[in-house]
Structure 1
Amino acid sequence: MNAGPTSPAHRDLPAVVTRYLDAHRAHDTSTAISAFTLDATVTDDGRTYEGTAVIEAWLTRSSSEYTYTTTLTGAERVDAAHWTATNRLEGDFPGGVVDLNYRFTLRDGLIERLVIEP
């Protein structure tokens, strides 16, 4: 079961973070990419992707590489610009289950930086 908009953790996140997470879960790349600044960066699995065109290619590839479900298990506000969403992924990737922290930096109501790591 995926955490939806009514889950307690989901309600703790800024709207732009929720929009990104929901769109990514639904494989809606155009909505997901609209949550980022034009000069945004994403770091995932030790690789950094810069700019919306490169991030869009990463989103497209990552959504088709494995089949998995995502459950939002926690959310934390670090400060006004920094938020962490913890997600449990379960699927057909090596290991089958992983808890990942999605660390967001916001700027002007959009995601400027996203770091995904255990």
Structure 2
Amino acid sequence: MTNEMPAPIAAYVAANTRLDADGMQASFAQNAVVRDDRGTHVGHDEIGAWIRSATIASRAVFTPEAWREQDGSIVVDGQTTGDFPGSPIRFTFRFMLKGEAIAKLEIA
């Protein structure tokens, strides 16, 4: 399924599957923004720290099940499993792209 998604999102998901923090971070634009329940993370340094603390530390792997374009975003629904309370948990990832990079990611 990741092959069907836009390239930056497919690369992010593939890197997440490998728990490759650098690969995940490389999918983002330099001034990208990530919003999740822990707050807002702006720019490569903050996003890299967020990836390492929120994803790598808990071995959280997101498995996309469906995606669609909606209001200028790519919305991806799926399940995240890992070493954290309540695993697995369903999430919706809303990506906004700029060129060949992720400019914004909101996780709900």
TM-score normalised by structure 2 residue count: 0.87
Residue number in structure 2 paired with 1:70: 62
Is this contact kept in 2: 1:38–1:51, CA < 8 A? yes
Distance 1:24 1:94, change over 3 A: same
Find runs of 4+ consecutive structure 1 residues off by over 6 angstroms: none
Residue number in structure 2 paired with 1:55: 47
The residue type equivalent to 2:77 in the other structure is: T
Residue number in structure 2 paired with 1:106: 97
Shifted more, 82-91 versus 103-112: the winner is 82-91
For residues 60 and 70 of structure 2, what CA distance do their matches in structure 1 show?
A: 28
Residue number in structure 2 paired with 1:20: 12
TM-score normalised by structure 1 residue count: 0.80
Q: CA deviation at 1:11?
A: 3.5
Give per-residue Cα distances to partners, 1:80-103, cap 9 Å, x unaligned. Answer: x41011121233422222110110
- Give the fraction of aligned pairs with identical amino acids, expressed as a percent: 26
1:94 is paired with a residue whose SS is coil
Shifted more, 69-78 versus 51-60: the winner is 69-78
For residues 14 and 42 of structure 2, what CA distance do their matches in structure 1 show?
A: 22
Distance 1:116 1:64, change over 3 A: same
Query: Cα RMSD between the aligned structures?
Result: 1.7
Q: CA deviation at 1:46?
A: 4.2
Q: CA deviation at 1:107?
A: 0.7
**Does the alignment pair 1:39 with 2:31?**
yes
Distance 1:67 1:37, change over 3 A: closer
**Does the alignment pair 1:93 with 2:77?**
no
Give per-residue Cα distances to partners, 1:26-60, cap 9 Å, x unaligned. Answer: 12121211111111000111411000011001111
Any stretches of 5+ residues in structure 1 without a counterpart?
1-6
For residues 92 and 37 of structure 2, what CA distance do their matches in structure 1 show?
A: 12
For residues 64 and 105 of structure 1, what CA distance do their matches in structure 2 show?
A: 23
